[in-house]
Structure formats: structure tokens, C-alpha cells
Chains A and B, each alone.
Chain A
Amino acid sequence: MSVRYGVVGWTPAKRWYDAVLLGAIALYLVGYTELAPMLVPESRALDGQSLRIKAFGSAAFLLLTFALAIGPLARLDRRFLPLLYNRRHLGVMTFALALAHALEVLGWHFAFSPTPPLVAALSSEPGLGTWPGTPFVPFGILALLILFALAATSHDFWLNFLTPPVWKALHLGIYLAYAAAVAHQVFGYFLAAANPGFVGVTVASAGLLLGLHLAAGLRGRRAPILGAEWVRAAAAADIPEGGAVVVEVAAGEPVAIFRNEGQLSAVSNLCAHQNGPLGEGRVVDGCITCPWHGFQYRLADGCAPAPYTEKLATYRLRVEGGEVFLDVRACPPGTYQQPVPA
């Protein structure tokens, strides 16, 4: 299923996604810079550029939090899957907002420095100690650099060129970026914040993320790691129509068991394109559709529809008393398996 690259693989859904995303960001920025000043006493009023610094910075942090929340949300409730499909646009916008925040800082706090703004920003950092001696700018720079690396490598080309293991390892940097962004705030704004509002938002955001990932992790652990040949994989009622459950097996890769029009089929959870998690995708037009790039496979034999040639390993299933049993021995890719009514 080789495709020629484009700037963006637009679909109507992606256009809507981006329109809503841009609209929400614009609304937040306007609200912060135009409405927020009305809520604070005149004695604590900020100039326009300081407001923009805070607006861009907080928007970037909230968007980063949202981007990290989408994964566990989609695992806990499949209605969030459409958010997952276009997450890369969210990441690029997060970088753009963080960059705008950094440029506003350079253009305000270091605008009148005799030394170049970047040099002044780095060399004016205090040593370790209590506020205002606690350095926080390096954490922000680290977060910005990581976000840049992730945004710069978000095009499909990079997944292919870096290869999935390198690309995935690089994009694990999002967690370090999040920790650095939190450190940037707590050692900067927190230490002297008179208004506890944003402190509360930051703590609540981090707590929400940790809670969501814990919940999604605990849910994933319900899928047993199985060792025998025929094993109980799931209750048939737990497999959603048009979706899948993912089963961990003792050897090999996880298996995705899909339900389509009341019949079950099992394939490898690994997309043949870039190893995307097929079990997090949906059945579209009778085909399993990878959540990463939309590669499709027939349910019964794991083959991509013609003219494409990718194939998935398939698995035997049987249903007894409402329980789904899986033969964990993978059949050769493209082997036909009669879907099982359930």
C-alpha cells in the first residue's frame, strides 16, 4: 500500500478537527488576553505582552496535557478514537504555541538588553536556591526543543525514514517534555504566584493525566497473558461492534479480536505498514482500519484489499457459552479463517 507523500493527507474529518482545534485555541487566547484582565484588580493588572506570554504558555501546556490524555481516553472509551487519529496536528499546534510563548518572552524580558536576547536569556539564569534564585528557563527550553523535534518529525515520511522503533523512541520524549514543562512552571510561576488559579489547573491537569493512564493501564491488565494453545480470550459481550479487544499472549505480538456484523475475527494487532495498533482502530467498510494511517485489511483473511498486498497473521477462534476462545498459534499471514458468529 505504498503511497506518494503529500503535504497533509486531508480528509473532511481532518479539516473539521483542525477547524475546531484552531477555533478553540483562538477563543482561549482572546479570552485570556481580553477578558481575563477584567477579572483581576487594577493593582495586579498586567501589560499586554505579559498577558500574551502567559496566554501562549498556558495554552501550550493545556494542549500538551490534552494530547497526552487522548491515548488513555481512547482506550477507556472508543468514542474518543477520532481525537486519536489526528493527534499529530495537536502536537504541531502545541509546539507553535510554545514557540510563540518563547518569542514573546525574548521580545519582552530581553528586548532592551545590550547582549543578544538568547544569550541574555541563558546567562541571566540564577543559580540553585530559593526563589528568585531557582532556575526554570532551562526546563522551558528543554520542553521547547523536544516539542520541536516531535513536530519536525511528525510527517509520515519520518515514520518510514526513521523506522518505527527509532520514531517511537524519539516520540517517547513527549513524557520528558511534559515533565520539563511542569518543572518550568513550578520553579517559575508557582514560587511567587499570588493567584492560586493556574497553580490549581496545573496540579489538576497532571493529576488527571496520571489518573487516566492508571485507569487505562489497569483496564489493559485485565487482558490475561495466556500460555496454552486454546485459551479464554474475552467475554463475547465485551467485544464492541465495529471494534476490537486486544489480547496479550505469552509468545509473539498481541492479538486483536474484532466484531463486525455480529461475527468475530482475530488478527495480529500489528499493522503491516508501520506496526500501528490495529486493535485501537475500527471496522470501516467491512475492513479493519489502522488508527495511524488508515491502512485496511479484510477481517476473514487479514489481506489488504486489491491492489494492495499487505497481509496480517490470522488466528482461529471459537465461542462457547458466551466466552471467546483463541488459538494463540498464529496462522501464516493471509490465511482465511471463517468469522465466528457471537
Chain B
Amino acid sequence: MQTSLAEAIIAAAMGYGAVGLAIGAAFLVFGIGRLDGGAHGAYAFRPLLLPGLALLWPYVVWRWSGGAAPGFAGQRRHRAAHRWAWIGLAVLLPALFLTALSLRTPVGDAPVRIAAP
């Protein structure tokens, strides 16, 4: 990866996080009590939420601005998602091991002296 691209990715991540921290802090002070009754009068736990709020701030803004919470799709669908995830891993993990084995540097090969250019 080019250095300029790496710098751009990190700068974008820092900017996203900074915006998230500001929105998260405001939400903890002004918004949380409106959306969750369990937060009324409870303050000690709020700083724990800040990393998550900074990460998921677009969702926070959406819910804070009146976005509706999604409905429950059912336990069966959730279990099916788990099942498919494990079927995927059952294929992916052996494939990763086999790929790594094929790329692996043979251990014990005698070193080869390289001629001077």
C-alpha cells in the first residue's frame, strides 16, 4: 500500500472517530434519556458507551432524529444466519490452511549462496 493511501485511510478514520466522539458526548448528555428509560438517573455507565457511540454515530444520529427501531425478524432466521456462518467457516478455514501450506517456505532447505551481481 502506498504511504499516501495509508495516510489518507488513517486521516479518514481519525476524522470519523472525532466526529463520533463529539456526537457521542452530546448524545450521552442530551439524548440518551429520551431514547432509553433505563438511562434515567444512571450516569456511571455512560462513559462506557462512548467508544461504541463514536463507532456507530451514523446510527446514533438516525435514531436520535426519530428513526424507528427495526422489528424482530424471529429466532429461526437468526439461527439460520448462525448456521450459514458456520457452513461458510467450514469451507473457508480449511481453504486458508491449505493456501498457507502451499505458500509455506520449506523448512530445512539448505541456504543458497547468491552470486554477486
A186-B99 in contact given A165-B73, A178-B89 (Cβ < 8 Å): yes
Q: Mostly helix, strand, loop or mixed at chain B's interface? A: helix
| Residues on the A chain within 8 Å of B44, using CB | 6-7
Closest chain-A Cβ to B50's Cβ sits at a distance in Å of: 9
Smallest Cβ distance from A279 to chain B, in angstroms? 10
- Asked if A198 is at the interface of the complex by the 8 Å CB criterion, the answer is no
Give Cα A152–Cα B93 distance, bound, in whole angstroms.
27
Q: Is the Cβ of A131 less than 8 Å from the Cβ of B105?
A: yes
Is B103 an interface residue when CB atoms closer than 8 A count as contact?
Answer: yes
Q: Is the interface of A mostly helix, strand, loop or mixed?
A: helix
Bound state CA distance, A6 and B45, in angstroms? Answer: 5
Is B117 among interface residues, defined by CB-CB distance under 8 A?
A: no
In Å, the complex CA distance between A130 and B44 comes to 51
User: What per-residue 1/0 map shows which CB atoms of B35-73 lie under 8 Å from chain A?
Assistant: 111111110110011011001100100010000011111
Taking CB atoms, residues of chain B closer than 8 Å to A148 are 51, 55
Select one of A131, A164, A217 contacting B86, CB under 8 A.
Answer: A217
A65: shortest Cβ distance to chain B, in Å?
11
Kindly state whether residue A325 has any CB partner on chain B within 8 Å.
no
Q: Give B3-36 interface residues, CB cut-off 8 Å to A.
A: 3, 5-7, 9-10, 32, 35-36
Could you write out 17 A-B pairs with CB less than 8 Å apart?
A2-B37, A7-B48, A123-B2, A125-B1, A130-B105, A131-B104, A149-B55, A149-B56, A155-B49, A157-B38, A157-B45, A162-B59, A163-B70, A166-B59, A186-B100, A191-B104, A192-B104
Please report A residues at the B interface, Cβ cutoff 8 Å.
2-7, 115-116, 118-119, 122-123, 125, 130-131, 134, 148-149, 151-153, 155-158, 160-166, 168-169, 172, 175, 178-179, 182-183, 186-187, 190-192, 194, 203, 206, 209-210, 213-214, 217, 248, 253-254, 269-270, 275, 277
Q: Which residues of B contact A (CB under 8 A)?
A: 1-3, 5-7, 9-10, 32, 35-42, 44-45, 48-49, 51-52, 55-56, 59, 63, 69-76, 78, 81-83, 85-86, 88-90, 92-93, 96-97, 99-100, 103-105, 107
